[in-house]
Copies of this chain bind each other. A is one copy, B any other.
Amino acid sequence: MGDNKEKTTIVLFSGELDKAIAAFIIANGAAAYDHEVTIFMTFWGLNVLRKDQKISVKKGFLERIFGKMMPRGAEKLGISKMNFGGMGPKMIKHVMKKHNALSLPQLIELAQEQGVKLIACTMTMDLLGLQQEELLDGIEYAGVAAYLGDAADAKVNLFI
């Protein structure tokens, strides 16, 4: 964690497959160039970090509804265009596999191996009623202040 490393931060606000893939490709590329990389997952972007199985936790009514309506993890996301009731994401995944491109779950795993810091926005978790047990292991929990601390030191800051 040297202070001389280049830094890159990404706010991942969107919960769509194509945007999440773009975010993780940029993050992994920057990490490969030895940047210190942070992805701050907020709002719908938090869905990317959800485990794909149903986790039994105590929730209020509205939080339960949100939990059911929102996609459960990287495998379930829709895309931002040409979704066609789920056909679009299938086509994208098919074509990525055919070209030996990493899938989103693989991109996330690679990011974690490369030390990309994945931060779940605690304010969003609170609002949408998401709990730590429902999210992937190995992530950090923080608010917008932590993001801003990293961003003020970084040259490349993107909002996706």
Contact = CB atoms under 8 A, between A and B. Distances in A.
Interface of A: 6, 11, 13-15, 18-19, 22, 25-26, 29-30, 33, 35, 42-44, 62, 65-66, 69-70, 80-82, 91-92, 94-96, 98-99, 101, 123, 126-128, 144-145, 147-148, 151-152, 154-160
A37 to B, nearest CB: 11
A80 B81 CA distance: 10
Nearest to A82: B69
B15 A152 contact: no
Given A99-B126, A159-B159, A152 B33 contact: yes
Given A29-B145, A154-B156, 14 more contacts: A6-B152, A13-B19, A18-B44, A25-B123, A29-B147, A29-B148, A62-B95, A66-B95, A70-B82, A95-B128, A152-B155, A155-B157, A157-B157, A157-B158
Contacts of A99: 126-127
Contacts of A123: 25, 101
25 contacts: A6-B152, A13-B18, A13-B160, A14-B80, A18-B44, A25-B144, A26-B144, A26-B147, A29-B145, A29-B148, A33-B148, A35-B152, A44-B80, A44-B81, A62-B94, A65-B91, A69-B82, A95-B127, A99-B127, A151-B156, A152-B155, A154-B155, A158-B158, A158-B159, A159-B159
